[in-house]
Amino acid sequence: MGAPSNSGDGGKNALLRALPSVEQLLRRPSLEPLLSGVPRARAVAALRLAVDRARGRLVASGGPGFEDADVQHALDTLAAPGLRPVLNATGVVLHTNLGRAPLAASAVARVAEVARGYSNLEYDLDEGARGSRYAPLVGLLRSLTGAEDAVVVNNCAGAVLLVLAALASGRECVVSRGELVEIGGGFRVPEVMRQSGAKLVEVGTTNRTRLADYSAALGAESALLVKVHRSNFALVGFTEEVEVAELSALGRARGVPVFQDLGAGALVPLKGEGLSRELTVAQAVAAGADVVAFSGDKLLGGPQAGVVVGRSALLARIKAHPLMRALRVDKLTVAALEATLALYRDGRAEEVPVHRLLAQAPEDLRARAVRLEGLLAGRGVRA
Ligand SMILES: *Cc1c(COP(=O)(O)O)cnc(C)c1O
């Protein structure tokens, strides 16, 4: 826009022009002690970062210009990985910003083992032929949930998109108005449905939905009855909702499968404040849900993943959908999920860190908080 330059801008421009080059800095005697012993490539990377930092400061607030201290800062930045461990003192056990579920020791070990070398990811060692990457997970998921078949994708949002696209594209999905939720990170049920190509048919009201509402909405175009876990809010007061058992009976009578997005997806009943009412995946399957989707890194306590379990015929259609390839999990996820599921199979669910963390007594938490405060104060940090 060619803003007229005033003396302030002129000063800033002069400082910007005066920023040293990396070559000049490599020869600057005052930086020698800082850079001695630093490999040249790393020194160059640090100096670029340092000059960028000074430039950013000049542009944002007019200065100060480059200082040798910028180089120390840049070296420190390079030394620390961008993604690194932090303490979670938020009181939220499954915190998406802090990486959700910490993995069990056995899962961490299996990831390391598989990451280090080659694996039979898509090779059936018994048959000596190509195999499926989901094979180690299917047996475990079937026995833990009672479902006929299973598959795993990148996350539960992907699982929901995949299920809707595979089973309902171009046709209708019937959902209660009380369950058209936004989960966070922009995952909104109506929008995911639009993306999948399915047509949303809303029934009931925000606070009350009855079986008759679902029943009246079913027709020749109905592909799925959908039930979504509210996950991050509660409906209280004058409310009514249809449980999955009732919805499944309706679905069977009318030939329309029921898809339940369970979200958190507990595999075992949970102990702890307000958690015992969470429907487990096995309970949803036993109640008649034909397809159930849930997260790998919420109450299951494993790696980020989206698990889909359900009837064989429906899972076959899901597995054949092109999105399956786009959403597939990598070997590290398969390794971590298999090891986590094995803990449940072996009756060792208490080794899944999420369960231990959720079961902590308030007085134990208080003691840890006080100890942490002391440690931080010892380092000159005030809580
Ligand atoms: C958390 C959640 C999702 C999204 O799961 P991600 O694994 O985070 O993708 C979808 N549906 C429900 C009901 C959820 O609670």
C-beta 153 within 6 A of ligand 1: no
pLDDT of residue 5: 44
Mean pLDDT of 182-196: 89
Q: Residue 15: what pLDDT?
A: 84
The per-residue pLDDT for range 362-380, each reduced to its tens digit, is 899 999 999 988 998 888 7
Residue 8 has pLDDT above 70, yes or no: no
Cβ atoms of 121 and 133 within 8 Å: the answer is yes
Query: Whole-prediction pTM value?
Result: 0.90
Return the pLDDT at 6.
46
CA of 44 to the centre of ligand 1 (A): 43
pLDDT tens digit string along 337-353? 999 999 999 999 999 99
Q: Ligand 1: distance of its center to the CA of 378 in Å? A: 40
Could you tell me if the CB of 263 is within 6 A of ligand 1? yes
Would the CB of 160 count as within 6 Å of ligand 1? yes
- Which pLDDT does position 41 carry in this prediction? 95
Residue among 48, 72, 57 nearest 15 (CA) = 57
d(CA 259, CA 179): 13
Q: 2: pLDDT confidence band, cut at 50, 70 and 90?
A: very low
179 lines ligand 1 (CB under 6 A): no
More confidently predicted of 163 and 91:
163
Q: What is the pLDDT of residues 257-282, one digit of tens each?
A: 999 999 998 999 987 667 777 899 99
pLDDT of 186: 81
For residue 341, the CA-to-ligand 1 centroid distance in Å is 19
Kindly state if the Cβ of 187 falls inside 6 Å of ligand 1.
Answer: yes
pLDDT score, position 311: 98
Provide the greatest CA pair distance for the chain: 84
Cβ neighbours for 12, distance < 8 A, ≥ 6 positions apart = 58, 59, 62, 63
Residue closest via CA to ligand 1's atom 5 equals: 156
Question: Exposure of 364 by Cβ count < 10 A (0-12 exposed, 13-18 middle, 19+ buried)?
Answer: exposed
pLDDT, averaged across the chain: 93
Ligand 1 within 6 A of CB of 189? no
CA of 156 to the centre of ligand 1 (A): 5
The mean per-residue pLDDT over the stretch 164-189 comes to 93
SS3 assignment for 106-171: HHHHHHHHHHHCCCCCCEECCCCEECCCCHHHHHHHHHHHCCCEEEEECCHHHHHHHHHHHHHCCC
Atom 2 (ligand 1): residue with closest C-alpha?
263
CA 88/CA 98 separation, integer angstroms: 7
Cα 67 to ligand 1 centroid, rounded to whole Å: 47
Query: Does 183 contact ligand 1 (Cβ within 6 A)?
Result: yes
CATH code for the part of the protein at 102-358: 3.40.640.10
**pLDDT for 12:** 80
Q: Ligand 1 centroid to 306 CA: how many Å? A: 8
Interval 323-345 mean pLDDT: 98
Question: Is the minimum distance from the CB of 136 to ligand 1 under 6 angstroms?
Answer: no
Mean pLDDT of 168-180: 96
For the chain, give every residue range classified as CATH 3.40.640.10.
102-358
